Amino acid sequence: MPTFQPKEYLRPSTAEEVTMVLTSREGAVIIGGGTEVYELAERGLLSETTALVDLTGLQLDGIERKGPALEAGASVRLSELEDHDAVKHPSMGAVLDSLRSIHPVQVKNLATIGGAVCSSISFFDLPVGLAALDATVQVFGVGANQRKPRLADFMVDFLTPDLKPGEFVTGVTVEPDAYTTSAFTKFCLTGNDWAMVNCGCSLKVEGGAIASAKVVLGGISSGLVTAHETADGLRGLAAEPGSQFDEPAERLDGELRDVVSDYRASAGYRKKLAKVLLRQALNRALTRERG
Amino acid sequence: MMIKMRVNGKSHELDIQPGESLNLILREHLGLTGTKKGCDSGGCGACTVILNGRAVYSCMTYGPKADGGDLLTIEGLSKDGELDTIQRSFAELYAFQCGFCTPGFIMATKALLDSNPQPSDAEIREALVGNLCRCTGYTKIMEAVRGVSKKGG
Strand partners, B56: B49
Assess whether B69 and B118 both reside in one domain.
Answer: no
Residue A173 sits at φ, ψ, to 5 deg, of -125, 135
Whole-angstrom Cα distance, residue A147 to residue A278? 31
Domain containing residue B104: CATH number: 1.10.150.120
Residue A36, Cβ neighbours under 10 Å: how many?
24
B104–chain A nearest CA distance, Å: 11
Per-residue pLDDT of A114-145, as tens digits, reads: 999 999 999 999 999 999 999 999 999 999 99
What DSSP state is assigned to residue A164? Answer: -
Q: Is A37 on the interface with B (CB under 8 A)?
A: yes
Percentage of the residues of chain A whose pLDDT score is greater than 70: 99
Distances (CA, A) of A207 to A102, A202, A285: 34, 17, 16
- Whether residue B21 sits in one domain with residue B41: yes
CA distance B82 to chain A (A): 27
Provide the 3-class DSSP secondary structure of residue B85: helix
For chain A, give the mean pLDDT.
95
Interatomic CA distance for residues B57 and B42, integer angstroms:
6
In this predicted model, what pLDDT tens digit does every residue of B65-91 receive, in sequence order? 999 999 999 999 999 999 999 999 999
Interface test with A, best of B48, B60, B101 (most A CBs within 10 A): B60
**AA identity, residue B130:** G
Residue range A149-184, pLDDT digits in tens? 999 999 999 999 999 999 999 999 999 999 999 999
User: B126: distance to nearest CA of chain A, Å?
Assistant: 8
CA distance A288 to A182: 8
Boundaries of domain holding B54: 2-76
Task: Report residue A4's pLDDT band, with 50, 70 and 90 as the boundaries.
Answer: confident
Nearest-by-CA chain B residue for A51: B18
B54 plus B119 within the same structural domain: no
Contacts of residues A203-207 at CB distance under 8 Å and 24 or more positions apart, as own/partner, are A203/A179, A203/A234, A203/A239, A203/A282, A203/A285, A203/A286, A203/A289, A204/A178, A204/A179, A204/A180, A205/A180, A205/A181, A205/A239, A205/A286, A205/A289, A206/A180
Measured between CB atoms, does B127 come within 8 Å of chain A? yes
Judging contacts by C-beta atoms under 8 Å, the chain B residues touching residue A188 are: none
Contact criterion met (CB below 8 Å) for A197 and A187: yes
Same-domain pairing of B104 and B124 = yes
* B49 and B105 fall within a common domain: no
Give this complex's ipTM: 0.95
B64 and B116 in a common domain = no
CA distance B22 to A260: 36
Shortest alpha-carbon distance between residue A103 and chain B (Å): 7
Question: Which amino acid is residue A275, in one-letter code?
Answer: K
Task: Say whether both B96 and B44 belong to one domain.
Answer: no
For residue A191, the chain B residues in CB contact (below 8 A) are: 129
Q: Does B12 share its domain with B70?
A: yes
Verify that B13 and B37 share a domain, yes or no: yes
In this prediction, residue A208 carries a pLDDT of 95
Same structural domain, B29 and B10: yes
Which residue among B46, B76, B106 closes a domain? B76
DSSP letter assigned to residue A259:
-
- CB-nearest to A106 from B17, B40, B45 is B45
Out of B26, B44, B76, a domain closes at B76
Task: Verify that B67 and B90 share a domain, yes or no.
Answer: no
**Least Cα separation, residue B62 to chain A (angstroms):** 6
The dihedral through the CA atoms of A193, A159, A4, B74 has a sign that is negative
**B40 shares contact with chain A (CB less than 8 Å):** yes
Q: What is the pLDDT of residues A54-106, one digit of tens each?
A: 999 999 999 998 888 999 999 999 999 999 999 999 999 999 999 999 999 99
CA A289: distance to chain centroid? Answer: 22
Evaluate if residue B132 carries a pLDDT over 90: yes
Nearest-angstrom CA–CA distance, B55 and B111: 6
Q: Which of B47, B76, B105 is the last residue of a domain?
A: B76
Contacts of A103 in chain B (CB under 8 A): 126, 129-130
- The count of domains in chain B is 2
What confidence category does residue B149 fall into, taking pLDDT thresholds of 50, 70 and 90? confident
Among B61, B67, B70, B138, most A C-beta atoms within 10 A, so best to mutate, is B61
Residue A136 φ/ψ region, left for φ over 0, alpha for ψ in the -120 to 50 degree band, beta for the rest = beta
Partner residue facing A106 (CB), from B41, B64, B130: B130
Question: Would you mind telling me the total number of residues written for chain B in this entry?
Answer: 153
CATH assignment of the domain containing B44: 3.10.20.30
CA dist B91 and B96 (Å) reads 7
* Residues in chain A closer than 8 A to B41 (CB atoms): 38-39, 42
Q: Do B42 and A34 touch (CB under 8 A)?
A: no
- Same domain for B33 and B97? no
The count of C-alpha atoms lying within 13 angstroms of the C-alpha of A113, restricted to the half-sphere facing its C-beta, is 29
